[in-house]
Structures are given as C-alpha cells and as structure tokens.
Amino acid sequence: MRNSSLQLLKENGGGSSVVCLLYLCMISILCALLYTKMQAVKEIEIANSTMWKGHFLWLEAIYYARNEINDETLWDWHESGEDYQIDVEFDRMKKQVIITAWYRGIRKVKKYFYDFDCHCIFETEQ
C-alpha cells in the first residue's frame, strides 16, 4: 500500500494523490467521531428508556394508592421482580401512604397524606 502510494506520487506529480490520502484520513476521523457519537446517543437512550419505565411503575403505584383510598380498603401492595420493586404502605393512624418504586437502580420514595372525605392524596399536610 505504501509502495503503491509512493509510486503514484513519483509517477504522477503526486498533488492529487496527496489530497486523496488526506481526504481518506479525514473520512476515517469522521467515521470514528460518528461511531463515538452514536455510542453516546445509544447510552443516553437506554438511560432515558429506563427513566420512563421507572416513571410508569411509579404512576401505577400512585394509581393503586388512590384506588385503595377510594375504596377505603387500604391494603398494602408489595410486588417485586428481577429488575423492579413496588411498595405501597398505608398508615391508617397517621393517615399517610408511603410509595416506593425501584427500577434498575433508580429508586423513588414519597410520602403522601390521604383524606377520606375527598378520597384524595396530597403531598403536604393540611
């Protein structure tokens, strides 16, 4: 490869061959940049997808808590799988529910207060 390039340079003045080689180098650099960027985008997308899945798990837990408050049954809910865990724990005495959702390392815990008069949950105590 090196010999043939040198031969081209010697036989044909070499100006255009050098430019071609420079272009080849530039394209290689661009390809490397593109690959790096694509890897970064892929990682961000995986993180984003994990965040959304964890969020939907959280919404499911809120929906369960609201439903239980509406029915006034207040059954706790504990469910876990390989990569997720949901805990909804009611405290009738304190009138509060603690919701915990965990998905692939992302954990969210929040305490809500509930009111049987309006069958609603809220974040701050009245």
Task: Kindly give, in sequence order, each residue whose CB lies less than 8 Å from that of residue 61, ignoring residues fewer than 6 positions away.
Answer: 77, 86, 87, 88, 99, 100, 101
The single residue among 7, 10, 12, 75 that binds other proteins, judged by CB under 8 A, is 12
**What is the smallest separation between the CB atom of 103 and other proteins, expressed in angstroms?**
13
**What is the smallest separation between the CB atom of 68 and other proteins, expressed in angstroms?**
13
Question: Tell me, what DSSP letter sits at residue 123?
Answer: S
Half-sphere exposure of 30 (CA within 13 A, CB side): 6
Taking contact as CB under 8 A, which single stretch among the options 13-21, 75-83, 84-92 is the one that binds other proteins?
A: 13-21
**Does 34 contact other proteins by CB under 8 A?**
yes
Tokens of 4: 């043939």
**The residue to which tokens 């985008």 are assigned:** 41
**Does 41 contact other proteins by CB under 8 A?**
yes
Site string for other proteins, 62-101 (x = CB under 8 A): xx--x---x-------------------------------
Long-range contacts of 119-123 (CB under 8 A, 24+ apart): 119/66, 119/69, 119/70, 119/72, 120/66, 120/69, 121/62, 121/65, 121/66, 121/69, 121/97
Give the interface with other proteins as residue ranges (CB under 8 A).
12, 16-17, 19-20, 23-24, 26-27, 30-31, 33-34, 37-38, 41, 44-45, 48, 51-52, 55, 58-59, 62-63, 66, 70, 112, 115, 118, 120-123, 126
